[in-house]
Amino acid sequence: MKLIKNKIPSLSISLLSLILLVNCKTEVEDKRKQLPQPISLEQDYPIQPVLFTAVKFEDKFWSKRLQTSKDVTIPFTLDQSEKSGRIKNFRIAAGHESGGFCSEYPFDDSDVFKILEGAAYVLMVEADPKLEARVDSLIALIGEAQEDDGYLYTNRTILKDKPHVWAGTKRWELTHDLSHELYNLGHLIEAGVAHYYATGKRGLIDIAIKAADRVCEDFGPDKIVSFPGHQIIELALAKLYRATGDEKYLTTSEFLLESRNNGSEYSQSHIPVTQQREAVGHAVRGVYMYAGMADIAALRNNQEYIDAINSIWEDVVTKKMYITGGIGSTGHGEAFGAPYELPNMSAYCETCASIGNVYWNHRLFMLHGDAKYYDVLERSLYNGLLSGVGMSGDLFFYPNPLESHGQHERSPWFGCACCPSNVARFVPSVPSYFYAQKDDELFINLFASGTAEINIQNNPVQIRQETEYPWEGKILVDVSPEKSEEFKIKLRIPGWSNNTVTPGDLYTFVDQAEEKVTLKVNGKDMDIQMEKGFAVIQRKWKKGDKIELNLPMPVRRIKSHENVVSNKDKIAIQRGPLVYAAEWTDQEDKKVLNLVLNEGQHLEAKANPTLLGGVYTIHGNVKGMTINEDQNLVANDKSLTLIPYYAWAHRGPGEMMVWIPTKEENAKPTKSPTIASKSKVSGSHITKAIQAINDQMEPENSNDKSIIFYHWWPKKNTVEWLQYDFEKSASVSEASVYWFDDGPFGGTRIPAGWRILYKDGNDWKPVKASTKYEIDTDRFCSVSFDPVETTALRLEVSLPKDHASGVMEWKVK
């Protein structure tokens, strides 16, 4: 397969692999001029991105994140892929080592491919011989692991006819379900195209072409009629089509989309894609598919696809998206929930889903040219997505909840490591989302200090931004075309600056902002001419022309649609594009869940250059609710400090919340200590959630996901235990347990039986019960027993035959 070179690129968004603007002036410009370029296509997105090779940041916010990605995230995730056996799988498949499949999941190959994609983006911008050598070595290994006919799936190559149960007994047998064979290859193709345009080397793209040819040979109307259980190859094949001009890749991508029918909502295969109008099922799968449909719509001018994804987008932004831009509200299936089902503590909001949300909204913008898609993209980027990676570059979140009782901590890696590897490939591409162009129109979509080298109708133009965004809304834009010429500049005016939180009425500002957006050109005030959310300036531009855009950034209060039950009588706080959160470490008593913010309370933003890498914090006064020993609710005056949501969980685990109650009855008051709450907790299975059993948070029902709960899943049909060690010896005679039960869909049910034992010296003895051990849902189940003097109690639980059990709270009297 020959790749077509040296033509003017018709660039697609996606991050990225289709690169190389002739006028891109960087330290590796001379090398780039010799590198291959994407082909010119007659049909594609009407608006094209100015990719990151032409954009250089000089700001305090993004520059250090890109540097951290290069210096820390990519090497770190490669190291973790080695330690976890992912890279060893390729060595075994290649015959260099012996042994079985080394890692947990059959899709673990994909993590290596994603990290290679991120490394390629780094190499596009800056020469790094050490990284390039490491990448080359890994590519050679992958090539040796690939089977002769192009098939590449190390789990089956290593395990032969007995691969992982998800993989099936033969190739492609369970590709529609959980095999992830096509998912793996999708990420391989994306990495191959990116690496080719970064280095000019054919090693990885030849491997990708060989694998893609295998897919095209095996799937089709008169061949295998199936679809990927996890979407991504649709995007990848469209990207390979752009790189090669080979029609079969685009045709196969369409075929895989059109084959989706009579499957499940979980994988968006329940009905044909053109008939889908609501976001359902696994959130990451969904947004990858919607982005793939956008690619086909652009390349084939397919209006049916456009109609479908437009309707699905309306469903998401008006009913199923968090204020942070996160999507996928439920951990059950990592899925979109029902309309307005947006719980906070149990919010899933997978980091990968936020990345996919950026992909999708970027493509919709390129189809329609409407700033509303960038309003969603920016919200996801600065909040739900950035939360997923710690500022050190080597700690990550998989879910990104909007409330925590202290059970959440960032992790350096996961058994399913899709999020760290996705972050590794995404962050280096961020500059490509800032600018776009269409004929003589230049779009400035996002804001950061730095330069962009852009070619507008064969006239090189340098754009320089100076701004402290996202902390301040003053943006200076220097426009310097090589020759004076008339063209349009379209500056995005964010919805949040015009009293629109998100498109639709899912979220609204409590009050209207008084200060208005202003615009000047060369110091002269301009009337703002709006078009689809953009301020349009059309004039003959000359070197040194200056635009001054001022986006006021008052502290704003936001409320939810009344159907979002979890946010009733609560508000969220936003300043500029950033959503804020209250975190335990900023409060004197280390509590935030008991706070109440009166609606009229003044809030003020302050710069704090030494906190969390330099942030603006928000300050005000609140009430802290407590229940005293007489069981009376008491309100105490307290000061409030809020931090940007993306920066939470950098200072240790503890309470956090985004949605702050405005009424006392909605707070979770701090209660007076009890024997149980002061006890040391231990158990047969230790997790962070074990703190739930004595945190004094009482549930509304046995499946109340608004508070933390503890369970023994996936254990079943065993005897498990929890233990309280008291501060000092005490006489006790009653125990009450609120059981966790997430039936009918979850794996946890009320226990088959339970009993209480007390510690007598070094021995454990059962108490002498005077009442029946109660077992029921949606209430405390109690047992009374003859008083015992002891230093410890043990709750012994017999799990059901086919399920686990769990505990929401355990009281002792």
Q: What are the catalytic residues?
A: 334, 418
Which tokens belong to 107? Answer: 């899709």
Alpha-helical (H) ranges within 48-85 are 62-68, 74-83
Cα 732 from chain centroid? 47
CA distance 194 to 190: 6
Give me the phi and psi of 618, to 5 degrees please: -120, 135
DSSP character string of 752-776: SEEEEEEEETTEEEE--BSS-----
* Measured distance CA(220)–CA(726) in Å, rounded: 67
The per-residue b/e assignment along 612-651, b for 16 or more CB within 10 angstroms, e otherwise, is: beebbbbbbebbbbbeeeeeeeeeeebebbbbbbbbbbbe
Residue 84 contacts residue 417 (beta carbons within 8 Å): yes
Token code pair at residue 161: 């006819």
- The CA-CA-CA angle for residues 570, 576, 577, to 5°, reads 80
Residue 395, burial from CB neighbour count under 10 angstroms (0-12, 13-18, 19+) = middle
Amino acid identity of 418? C
Give alpha helix (H) positions in 346-469. 351-368, 371-379, 418-426
Separation CA 583–CA 160 (nearest Å): 51
Nearest partner of 58 among 442, 445, 467, 426, judged by Cα: 467
Give the pairing type, strands 485-492 and 534-541. Answer: antiparallel
Residue recorded with tokens 């913010």: 597
Reference 437, options 42, 51, 18; nearest CA is: 51
